[in-house]
């Protein structure tokens, strides 16, 4: 396997494959964090607020580590996040879905489904041939284990007997709603073959999907939940290819809003008094 020390010296195919792998990693982390912070100051307890804010901070940190490596290929952080068109983000559609009001079950279940997939992917990346990813994987893995502990503790709490009860019903509803979108985590980009062949991530997503199902299915069933048939979203959105749900547009507009305003004359932001009554 050729050394891939210098990003500028990669073959065009390898460069595209590295970029594709990094974009899905970074975008997953960034958008998961963007959604987690919907819960900040709205968690069921102050402890829960702190925990979810902390998890969000971790994911922002990890997103930044991966966006750093994308900068090697010429784009700036601003171009990668605030100036990138919405249909060029490649995160799993599960990350972008808006929470139903007060549905904490969705938040912890989403974290559970995501963090197990992330761990499997990072473990595969521990064997990467791309040294700049290898340099960072260990640090990220080391900051992830309590995310899974947090999610699993909450899921067990929400599944306490006697059942059925409201918490457990909400959990099942969230599982039914999230599951097809969770499976987009394992949808390949058009560069999947190159990613695996060049050893950028030596394990195919199809294998990670099987590993993930083998871990998550018995755990969820053990909580008394019915795990849906693993089918992708019927609407056809896949995330990895840039297709997203309507929820994504709302979130995208929100997080780019302040950046967009930076270039504008503040006076134009105010409603013209003459037009206010129209």
Q: Which residues bind another protein (CB under 8 A)?
A: 51, 54, 57-58, 60-62, 64-65, 68, 134-136, 138-140, 142-143, 146
Task: Read off φ and ψ for residue 53, nearest 5 degrees.
Answer: -65, -40
Cβ closer to another protein: 61 or 202? 61
Q: Where are the alpha helices (DSSP H) in the chain?
A: 12-36, 46-71, 77-81, 93-96, 104-125, 131-142, 145-158, 166-182, 192-197, 205-222, 246-261, 266-269, 273-276
Which pair of structure tokens corresponds to residue 135?
């340099």
Q: How far is the CB of 4 from another protein (least distance, A)?
A: 16
* Cα separation values, 161 from 89, 221, 246, Å: 41, 14, 36
- C-alpha 172/C-alpha 218 separation (Å) is 15
Q: How many other C-beta atoms are found inside a 10 Å radius of the C-beta of residue 237? A: 21
Cβ closer to another protein: 40 or 169? 40
Which pair of structure tokens corresponds to residue 162?
């006697």
Q: How far is the CB of 244 from another protein (least distance, A)?
A: 26
Cβ closer to another protein: 46 or 214? 46
Task: Read off φ and ψ for residue 91, nearest 5 degrees.
Answer: -75, 160
Cβ closer to another protein: 84 or 136? 136
Q: How far is the CB of 62 from another protein (least distance, A)?
A: 6
Q: How far is the CB of 3 from another protein (least distance, A)?
A: 17
Cβ closer to another protein: 65 or 185? 65
Cβ closer to another protein: 54 or 243? 54
Q: How far is the CB of 116 from another protein (least distance, A)?
A: 20
DSSP class per residue in 46-66 = HHHHHHHHHHHHHHHHHHHHH
Q: How far is the CB of 130 from another protein (least distance, A)?
A: 13
Question: Cβ distance 77 to 259 under 8 Å?
Answer: no
């Amino acid at each position: 396997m050729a050394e891939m020390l210098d990003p500028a010296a990669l073959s065009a195919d390898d460069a595209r494959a590295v970029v594709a792998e990094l974009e899905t990693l970074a975008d997953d982390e960034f958008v998961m964090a963007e959604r987690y912070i919907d819960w900040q100051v709205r968690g069921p307890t102050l402890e829960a607020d702190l925990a979810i804010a902390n998890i969000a901070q971790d994911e922002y940190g990890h997103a930044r580590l991966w966006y750093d490596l994308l900068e090697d290929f010429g784009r700036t952080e601003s171009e990668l996040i605030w100036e990138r068109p919405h249909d060029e983000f490649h995160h799993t559609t599960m990350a972008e879905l808006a929470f139903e009001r007060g549905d904490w079950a969705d938040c912890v279940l989403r974290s559970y489904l995501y963090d197990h997939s992330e761990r499997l992917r990072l473990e595969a990346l521990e064997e990467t041939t791309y040294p700049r990813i290898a340099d960072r994987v260990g640090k990220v893995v080391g900051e992830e284990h309590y995310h899974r502990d947090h999610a699993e503790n909450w899921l067990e709490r929400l599944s306490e007997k006697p059942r059925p009860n409201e918490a457990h019903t909400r959990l099942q509803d969230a599982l039914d709603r999230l599951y097809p979108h969770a499976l987009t985590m394992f949808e390949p980009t058009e560069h999947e073959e190159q990613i695996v062949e060049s050893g950028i991530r030596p394990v195919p997503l199809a294998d990670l999907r099987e590993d993930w199902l083998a871990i998550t299915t018995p755990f969820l069933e053990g909580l008394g939940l019915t795990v849906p048939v693993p089918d992708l979203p019927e609407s056809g959105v896949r995330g990895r290819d840039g297709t997203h749900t309507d929820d994504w547009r709302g979130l995208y507009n929100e997080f780019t809003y302040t950046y967009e305003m930076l270039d504008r004359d503040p006076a134009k932001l105010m409603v013209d008094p003459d037009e206010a009554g129209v």
